[in-house]
Each structure stands twice: as structure tokens, then as C-alpha cells.
Structure 1
């Protein structure tokens, strides 16, 4: 009898703890959802997703996500590879990573912001998949609402009909970069676009020890670099993104060109399977990769749009114009010159990878008229590099070295009539 009573008490205590934990989560959700002091009365705070679970097999899978308020949503499909895209209003995701570990029909699940006022859940599927039922239900205890998504495996023909029937083309506000037209720079001003890689739903790599996301590393460094460059006489540097937002690769190029940039510097801090590899690398664009490592890195970086659920449309064939070809060649030559100047500045000052100037087909470096480089500051998979990437003094030092490289590049370009 005593044992039975102990079991009852244990069960009661467990249930009580579960209810308390749920109430605490809801309390945090409600607090986080309150408008900030500077928010206008008619400006609604972001939704808050505070819980999730997933279950199923390779035929059917169910996802459930708990929100503090009733979420509006829309569902779309993207092919090659198959992805299910769930668009939401701006949402703060307070989810434990393990709560949406991919399983069943899905091999990867990502979520995050994709632009002003918009967030997105991207479900990468193992094959043709359809959301057969999607509904929002109030929680029984009144703590919020849950979005329930039931997915089923379907044949290719059915999936192609879904693609053809939907009006969504992977564009619109979810991937729109709201940028006012940049005024023409003052005569003689040297304009530099500083591009913080990744952002929003595209978190990039994750630190081996700190677990910090690459998108935060690159933005922190971009701010310091832009500030350093702006102290140079006659230089004006601007950021392609100044907050945690998603920009497609094409948008980054477009922002640089619309900003009348003379240079484009894209910042990254990737991870590698070989954790002993460390040091900075400077990449320029080429239709052929210089080595296997460069090819692998370019392939991963070019997946940024795919990760965010953007439908990648084939680019229209360019006009066969010899002037365009000459412009590309000249731009590429300037890009190589900039890369070499950066390597020269870094030598003996910071750790460089072997053969630090490499090249591959990076889509973010494809502007035909803006010399561009992609700078791997170091690798978050290496503990020593990771410590440096988190060090404010190191960021200042490296930014100063990049500014020196840009100064020499600019002097040479002016001397050669560039």
C-alpha cells in the first residue's frame, strides 16, 4: 500500500512539474511578446514559437509547433531538392534544437527570419511530399495555439502538379530586401560594400565549442571592418545587411551594385571536417575551382538560397557582347589584385591557410562590374580559430590589415587609371 502511495505521489509530482514547466514557457512567451517601449501602439510584437515536436516515418510525418498567438501561415513547395516552405509573420523562435530534429519524411528542418516582418520554416524532404492537412488549434489550457502539419509521401506526378498549381514563385516579401536607392557617391569617393555572410534563417556554420552561429560572427566583424574603412580618407563603406536578416545571394550582389560599390568583400567563417585546418583564406571567382577544398566550400556557400527555401531560377542567357566579356575579364583581374593585397597584408600578422589565395564558382562574387572577394576569416571547426573569431581585439587588428590592403589596391588602381 505504501509503495502504491509513493508511486501516486511520484506521478502527481511529475505531472505537476510538467504543468509548471509549461506554464513557465507560456509566461516567457507572453513576456517576450509584449511590445517594446519604443514600439508604436498599432505595431504588433512578433509571434513567439515556444514549443515543437515531430513524429512519423518515411510515409507520414506530423509536426506540431506551439505559438503564443494564432499564427497566419501559407504553404509552398520547391523542387530540386524537394522542400516544403511554411511562411509565417515575423516570429521569434524560442525552440530547443532537439525539439525539431529531422525524422520521418524530412532530412533537415530550418527556421528563422527571411526579411522584414517575415519568418519561415523550411522542411527539406527525402522525396516528393505534400502537406495533406494543416490546421491551427487553440491549446486546451488557453496558453496559445498550435500549428499542426501532416505530411505524406506522394508520387512525382502529384508533386509536379502541386508545383504547377501554386502561384508562389519563391519571391515576394519573404525575400525582399528593402533598400532605398543610394545617391551617387561624391566625386573621388571609393565605395566598398561589406557583406556579412549568412543571416536570418541561414545561420551558417556553428562554433565547435561556443556553438555561436556564423551569421553573428560575420555581422560583428562586418561592423568593425566598415567602421575601420570609413576612417580612411575618401572611402565610404556600407553593409549589405546591418541586422540578422536573410538576403539571397543575388540580392547581396544587387545591393552592392545599387550602392555604386567599387569593391565587394564578403565575410565568412566556415567549418571543415578536418578540425586541424585553420587560418584565413581569400577566394575569387572562377568557373573552375583551384582545389577540392575550394570546390566544396563554394558548393556549401551556394546553398544559402536553397536553405532559405528560395526557388532558384535559371539565369537568363547574357547577350553575347564582347564589351561585357571584357568587363568581366577586367573585373576578375581587379578581384585577383585585391586578393593578393589582402594576403600580403595578412602574411606574418595572422595565421593563413596553405595557398591562401584560392578560387571557385561562388555565386555571391558574380557581379560583372564590381571586383569581389570572399574572405574566410578562419574556421569555426578549429578551436584556436574560434577563440580568435570571438576576440574583439583580433577583429580590430584584422580589420586594420584589410584596410591597409584596400589602400594599396586603391593606390595601384588609381595609378593605372582605374
Structure 2
């Protein structure tokens, strides 16, 4: 490119508007089928799941979950890999982790919220599997109900028929209506930053090596601090893509940022690595080719968020992919790189950075066609020192302030060059 990112930023929105309009329309159409419903009826208390057990072998497996009230449920199937999806109304899971230790047909069992009004269990199977019997039974003492699920191994042909016969697109059937909460309206002339707390709800993210803290709580705590800090900056407005412990699909996060008129998108994460001695912050931008193996592996894990939640993965139409890649390469990626460099510069000498702190890979959550975007790895929950810092409110405050400095510099340069 002959022009720098800062020369292109603010006026670029006008120049791109016509080119992006068609891409955006197609993008929203592609995302619509992936968006889970998120609202629940007012005044309805969540179910309580207070006990569970799993028993069986590689041929048959039984799952039993105990609830305080009669649960409505629905069962669906997803392929590649095989998963059994059990959708429920909003549920508080007061379960001991060992009570749903995977065994028999299942090699992973996850559960959690899918947005206000709905929850989900995802049973990852070792091969083609069918639920042959499911029913709710009252407890003998009359003080609760048991959901009993019996599953059996089946052949591929039978599983393919289950997939073709079901009328399901991946949405949450337990929640009756609704779309993701819209971001606040952009004030006239404001420079808007969308702060995305990674993971949430059923998708816990990484787990701390010492405290067993879930990444979704670490990222939300930091994101709240960052939004509060940014909102104290003159001329800057910041908002959260998720406000609580709720699941948002990757396309949904992008949609919320764009609907809020975001000028910047910052996605916050805290991953784990097998190499526990590696620590420090990293800033990632999007690219169709990863800068290194670490970046490639991280992107692959982060891109599995929707799959973990039981959402069927569907590729965008080729036309959407082509447009997104073109726009990212030619305009938006340059702005993202400029922002990443500003963040690294602000962090240097102040907080621990990983070697080569600006890296790039194909992160799906950074695919907004017209919003400069970065993914910030605050540190690694697999490292004892990083984990301690990530849980320290004072450290979070310091990093939030440094990020605010980086955003302020980026904005000032962009305004100075673009009017």
C-alpha cells in the first residue's frame, strides 16, 4: 500500500460505504442463521440443576440430571464432530464438575448459558450417536425432577438420516424470541470502541492452572474496567458486547459492534499453553496466513467457540469471504495493524509482553469488514505469574489505562490525518 493506515482512517468510512454495503448485506444474511435467541420472559426464575450422573460404556450411556422443577427440553444433533445438543430454559448449574465427568459414548460434556432465557448441554460423542429414550421423571420425594437421557451408538447411515430429518438450524429453541441486545446508539461525533469479553455462558474458555478460574470471568472483569476507563476519555464512547455471563456467537459479536457504530473493536482473551513458562501480553490482528504456529494454534482454538456451544459451523458464501478478505487486506487491516502497534508501544516497559508481541492469524471474531479490530491476549492462565496478575484488580486497572492511552493516540492521529 502507498498510503499509511493513519492517512486512511476516518474518511475511509465514506469511501468504503458503497463497496461495503453489498458485503454487509450478504454478511448479515449469512450471520442470521447463526444467531441464538437471547431473551426470556420477565419474572421467570431460572431452573436449578443440582445433581447429575453419567454411566455406561462405548455402546450405551445414560445421563441423569436433577432439577428443582420440571424442565422443558429439546434434543438435536450436529456433525463434524458428532455432538448431541440438549436445549433447556435458563438454568443455574449447581453441579460438581466431577458429576458430569465424560464416559461411555461421550468424551466431553459442557453446559452453560446461551443468553438470557436459554441454556444448553453439549455432549461430544466419540462416534455416531442417537438418543433412543428421553423423559422427565418426578423424584420419589416429590421435591424435584430427573431428566433421563439414554444414548446408543449407531451407524453412520442412521446418523446421517437423523441430521437430514431434524428441522433445526442451531438456534436456541428454549428461548422463545429475541435478538442480541443492541449496542447503545452512537453520539454525534463520538469515537466508539466496542470491547468484547471473550467466551461466556456455555463457552468457559481456558481454565487457570492454580485457581481454576474460568477465562470468561477474567475477560469480563477486565472488559468492564476497560470500558469504564475509556468512557472517562474526552470524545470516546465505549460499550461491552456482552454485559454478563452469556454466550455470544462469533458473528453475533461482530454484529453488535457494527450496530453500535464502532470505530474500533477490541476482543479480550486470556488463553492457556502447554508451555507453562511462556507469559506476557500479545496483540493479534487478522490475516489469512498466520505469523507463526502459536498464532495459528490460538486462532484455531478461538474459532471453535461456536462449535463448543453446539452451533453448526457454516461457511459464508464464497462472495462474502472474497469481499471480506479484500476489504481487510486493502483498508481495514491497515488500520488494525496501526492500532496494534499503538497498543504494543503503550505496553512496552510497563507490562510484560511476549516475544514478538504483535502477531496475526485468521480470527473469525476480527472479520468486521469496516471496523479496525484487534484481539488482545492479556496473558496466559497456564502461567502462575500471569494468572496472579490477571486476577489482580490493580493490574487490570493499570493495563486498562495503558490501553486507553493507545486508543487516544490512535484516535488523535486518525483525526489529525483525516479531519
TM-score normalised by structure 2 residue count: 0.87
Closer/same/farther in 2, CA of residues 202 and 417 from structure 1, 3 Å limit? same
Give the drift of 1:319: 6.0
Q: Please list every run of 5 or more consecutive structure 2 residues that lacks an aligned counterpart in the other structure.
A: 1-40
- Structure 1 residues 356-409: Cα deviation after superposition (integer angstroms, max 9, x where no partner): 000111100011100000000000011100110011111110000000101111
Task: State the structure with more CA Rg.
Answer: 1
Closer/same/farther in 2, CA of residues 412 and 106 from structure 1, 3 Å limit? same
Give the drift of 1:414: 1.6
The correspondence for 1:179, drawn from 172, 176, 181, is 181
Q: Which residue does the alignment assign to 1:337?
A: 338
Closer/same/farther in 2, CA of residues 106 and 235 from structure 1, 3 Å limit? same
Closer/same/farther in 2, CA of residues 322 and 373 from structure 1, 3 Å limit? closer
Distance in 2 separating the partners of 1:323 and 1:59:
45
Query: SS where residue 272 of structure 1 aligns?
Result: coil
Query: SS where residue 265 of structure 2 aligns?
Result: strand
Closer/same/farther in 2, CA of residues 417 and 95 from structure 1, 3 Å limit? same
Within a 5 Å distance, the mapping from 1:16-415 to structure 2 comes to: 43-172=43-172, 177-180=179-182, 182-183=184-185, 185-318=186-319, 325-326=326-327, 328-415=329-416
Give the drift of 1:317: 2.0
Q: Please list every run of 5 or more consecutive structure 1 residues that lacks an aligned counterpart in the other structure.
A: 1-40
Indicate if the aligned counterparts of 1:191 and 1:260 stay in contact, CA closer than 8 A: yes
Indicate if the aligned counterparts of 2:130 and 2:152 stay in contact, CA closer than 8 A: yes
Give the drift of 1:210: 1.0
1 or 2 for the larger relative contact order (CA 8 Å, sep ≥6)?
A: 2
Closer/same/farther in 2, CA of residues 324 and 299 from structure 1, 3 Å limit? closer
Indicate if the aligned counterparts of 1:115 and 1:177 stay in contact, CA closer than 8 A: no
Q: Which residue does the alignment assign to 2:14?
A: none
Query: SS where residue 247 of structure 1 aligns?
Result: coil
Give the drift of 1:188: 2.3
Give the drift of 1:182: 4.6
Indicate if the aligned counterparts of 2:380 and 2:386 stay in contact, CA closer than 8 A: yes
Closer/same/farther in 2, CA of residues 103 and 284 from structure 1, 3 Å limit? same
Query: SS where residue 318 of structure 1 aligns?
Result: helix
Closer/same/farther in 2, CA of residues 278 and 316 from structure 1, 3 Å limit? same
Distance in 2 separating the partners of 1:256 and 1:360:
20
Give the drift of 1:91: 0.6
How many residues matched? 378
- Structure 1 residues 43-73: Cα deviation after superposition (integer angstroms, max 9, x where no partner): 2311111111101111111111111111110
Closer/same/farther in 2, CA of residues 180 and 255 from structure 1, 3 Å limit? closer
Indicate if the aligned counterparts of 1:281 and 1:375 stay in contact, CA closer than 8 A: yes
TM-score normalised by structure 1 residue count: 0.87
Closer/same/farther in 2, CA of residues 53 and 115 from structure 1, 3 Å limit? same
Indicate if the aligned counterparts of 1:115 and 1:173 stay in contact, CA closer than 8 A: no
Closer/same/farther in 2, CA of residues 326 and 90 from structure 1, 3 Å limit? closer
Indicate if the aligned counterparts of 2:74 and 2:173 stay in contact, CA closer than 8 A: no
- Structure 1 residues 156-184: Cα deviation after superposition (integer angstroms, max 9, x where no partner): 1111111111111102566964324753x
Closer/same/farther in 2, CA of residues 62 and 260 from structure 1, 3 Å limit? same
Distance in 1 separating the partners of 2:324 and 2:46:
49
Distance in 2 separating the partners of 1:322 and 1:302:
20
Closer/same/farther in 2, CA of residues 370 and 151 from structure 1, 3 Å limit? same
Indicate if the aligned counterparts of 2:342 and 2:409 stay in contact, CA closer than 8 A: yes
Query: SS where residue 109 of structure 1 aligns?
Result: strand
